[in-house]
Structure 1
């Protein structure tokens, strides 16, 4: 069963990556992402209700590590949808205040759930039998009201809290990116000598993001002191491309099961092949 779940999750991540890169309109992107994620979660529920977990440990693993990855995506895209639908019309000052207020809401949730945050982030497991087994709960642990309305055959007392933590991480990145874009919106580029030939990035955005992170990690720009956002903005400018939420895409790249550095590996193989065939190329 776990293998089936992992397969559904991998396919979902691929679909969401495609949507994030191909649909520029944030509202439409969220609508499509929610639609796809709901279908994936419905398939997930059918699998769980049809099969039995082999052990309590497997059940805990599912509700602590796997199901939250589906639910967190629904929370994330739904929250971004609401944030953008309620976004006020106004100048940079108004927008900065609005997005900063949304960040404060995330902090408020963090403060309210501080004990569970510490438990989950520290990798603790001594309360997993209460938090992530169906039918096991303790009213003294301050349960969210939603738990009493949730399907007890497909929910535990805290799997939603884990999903909320994962979603909040992504929402924070989104809001911080928005604030950075606002701060740089009025920045006027200095005149500079332009090359005779205009180069366009014709590979995927994911590949460019992977390259940017590699350059930043190796510290090959500005003696290693260049900020990641500065590098990303530079590439966006010279290639006239919108990388969107590149930090979120990197999280997905990092989650790849096989060949995490797919583009870098392809570059390495191509260059080695060229070196081997050097005599034929000169």
Structure 2
């Protein structure tokens, strides 16, 4: 297995395993369990790289720009979340909000300190990839803020920064949601208006639906991970879809005529609705309702 496929496989596995640790109530135990999972995946990547190397420069750029940072970002995210939770004031909503807002300031400061490469990350630029995401090119770079010494055989300066960008964007979003919840402002009220919406169908149907949304790149131009989409849909409709990889394996093992049973049912019912809605429109006026 090449490093691109291995990194994608490990990211998917670790994301699923981290979902399973979400039920651990002790924050320190949850932190240690999550950390161990990510470190194990990174160790596997390092061993594979040491044994086989890269097949091409294209593979090396993907590995340091996307493959490894997606996994390493999970380690950063776990660490930062634990640090924020463990230092959260126990009493006083205003103090807790102030604590969270200070974290947002810290994240924004990090983005501004690394403004140039952060914009490179946000824009999805590629023109400097050979300098930023190959070990040979990275050895000539200098001047980045807040970057620790890295293992030159397994890292580039930019892969570390991309990992932090990925982690901090997720952290930024979750902190803002926490602040809204604690303030109980207008946004929180609007969100609570839909709190009684629940998915009452089979959870496996939700998994099939989310895979369809993910594979067709309908959210954020396709620049969103499968685990993020699953988490969003699960929270929005209050349905437990943890272990979705196992559920997807069940979908693949279906022996019926179609494996995408739920999506096929949706397609048939929407088509029927279109046909039924056309039925009452006079033939000479139907063209007015076609888009």
TM-score band (shorter)? 0.5 to 0.7
Q: Give the direction of change, closer, same or farther, for the CA distance of 1:202–1:79 in structure 2 (3 Å limit).
A: farther
> Corresponding residue for 1:183?
183
> Corresponding residue for 1:191?
none
Partner residue of 1:3 out of 2, 5, 13: 5
Kindly indicate whether the alpha-carbon contact (under 8 Å) linking 1:63 and 1:133 is maintained by their aligned counterparts in 2.
yes
* 1:184 CA displacement: 3.4
* 1:150 CA displacement: 1.7
Kindly indicate whether the alpha-carbon contact (under 8 Å) linking 2:114 and 2:145 is maintained by their aligned counterparts in 1.
no
TM-score, normalised relative to structure 1: 0.65
Kindly indicate whether the alpha-carbon contact (under 8 Å) linking 1:68 and 1:160 is maintained by their aligned counterparts in 2.
yes
Q: Give the direction of change, closer, same or farther, for the CA distance of 1:74–1:206 in structure 2 (3 Å limit).
A: farther
* 1:145-224 correspondence to structure 2 within 5 Å: 146-147=147-148, 149-184=149-184, 207=206
> Corresponding residue for 1:129?
130
Q: Give the direction of change, closer, same or farther, for the CA distance of 1:161–1:267 in structure 2 (3 Å limit).
A: same
Distance 2:94 2:141 in 1: 44
**Residue 136 of structure 1 aligns to a residue in which SS?**
helix
Q: Give the direction of change, closer, same or farther, for the CA distance of 1:69–1:182 in structure 2 (3 Å limit).
A: same
Question: More displaced, 54-63 or 137-146?
Answer: 137-146
Distance 1:144 1:47 in 2: 30
> Corresponding residue for 1:40?
41
> Corresponding residue for 2:76?
75
Q: Give CA deviations for 1:149-202 in whole Å, capped at 9, x if unaligned.
A: 3211101121000000000011112211211221239x99xxxxxxxxxx9979
Kindly indicate whether the alpha-carbon contact (under 8 Å) linking 2:76 and 2:167 is maintained by their aligned counterparts in 1.
yes
Query: Which stretches in structure 1 are left out of the alignment for 5+ residues?
Result: 189-198, 218-230, 260-264, 275-282
TM-score, normalised relative to structure 2: 0.64
* 1:29 CA displacement: 2.8
Kindly indicate whether the alpha-carbon contact (under 8 Å) linking 2:61 and 2:129 is maintained by their aligned counterparts in 1.
yes
The answer to whether structure 1 residue 19 and structure 2 residue 21 are counterparts is yes
Distance 2:234 2:138 in 1: 46
Distance 1:272 1:52 in 2: 45
**Residue 135 of structure 1 aligns to a residue in which SS?**
helix
Aligned-residue CA RMSD (Å)? 3.9
Q: Give the direction of change, closer, same or farther, for the CA distance of 1:27–1:207 in structure 2 (3 Å limit).
A: farther
Kindly indicate whether the alpha-carbon contact (under 8 Å) linking 2:14 and 2:41 is maintained by their aligned counterparts in 1.
yes
Question: More displaced, 176-185 or 115-124?
Answer: 176-185
Q: Give CA deviations for 1:99-120 in whole Å, capped at 9, x if unaligned.
A: 0111111111111111111112
Distance 1:268 1:200 in 2: 16
> Corresponding residue for 1:105?
106
Q: Give the direction of change, closer, same or farther, for the CA distance of 1:168–1:140 in structure 2 (3 Å limit).
A: same
